[in-house]
Chain A
Amino acid sequence: AQSVTQPDIHITVSEGASLELRCNYSYGATPYLFWYVQSPGQGLQLLLKYFSGDTLVQGIKGFEAEFKRSQSSFNLRKPSVHWSDAAEYFCAVGAGNQFYFGTGTSLTVIP
């Protein structure tokens, strides 16, 4: 069965530090991959997506993600975190007419 795993339930980083959020998926072929961000009480905002082509994808707000087929991973990165990045982050996979969300990673940014 298809699945999306975000191993880190909660991450705390200092403002200005780099960030990497992990996402692994289980699917036979290359799926469509997404990262969303959700602020408290808000809907989801698309940060970036990967469908095909260059495996390093640039998104909004300075985020990027790299698709690694050999590791079935699509990790999200940001070189310097801002306090406003504190939110919940969801990795999602589109595969076989289905859409699967990871369990989310809560990001806390400390000054």
Chain B
Amino acid sequence: GAVVSQHPSWVICKSGTSVKIECRSLDFQATTMFWYRQFPKQSLMLMATSNEGSKATYEQGVEKDKFLINHASLTLSTLTVTSAHPEDSSFYICSAVSGDISYEQYFGPGTRLTVT
């Protein structure tokens, strides 16, 4: 149980275009989802916390107008990278929280974004 999927697993886009990444909890309802960014050989950096039905909470330094997060249902959160630039190229990972133990996160397999 507690499976989280991400789609797409990898995407290549041109500078200036927008890309949407989906994060789904397949077998549980997730009231909270998290979005992370990971650079090569580095740890995960929390970008934002997404709660179903409310606005996402962004970490300091993360541009909310560039990284649009929508948590429309208890099983789906989306991250849209708007007007993408090469420096946005990265590995994006989502996680979802199941149940009342808010720290027990289940991670998706990640999405590799390359902006050319």
A residues engaging B (CB < 8 A)?
A: 32, 34, 36, 41-46, 49, 51, 90, 94, 97, 99, 101-104, 106
B residues engaging A (CB < 8 A)?
A: 4, 6, 34, 41-44, 46, 91, 93, 95, 101-110, 112
What is the CA–CA distance of A44 and B36 in the complex, to the nearest angstrom? 11
Secondary structure type dominating chain B contacts: strand
**Is there contact, CB below 8 Å, between A36 and B107?**
yes
Chain B residues lying within 8 Å of A43, measured Cβ to Cβ, are: 4, 6, 93, 107-110
**Is there contact, CB below 8 Å, between B43 and A102?**
yes
**Is there contact, CB below 8 Å, between A99 and B108?**
no
Smallest CB gap from A104: residue in B:
B43
19 new A-B contacts at CB < 8 Å, known A41-B110, A102-B43: A32-B103, A32-B104, A34-B103, A36-B107, A41-B91, A41-B112, A42-B110, A43-B4, A43-B6, A43-B93, A43-B107, A43-B109, A44-B93, A46-B107, A97-B102, A101-B43, A103-B43, A104-B43, A106-B41
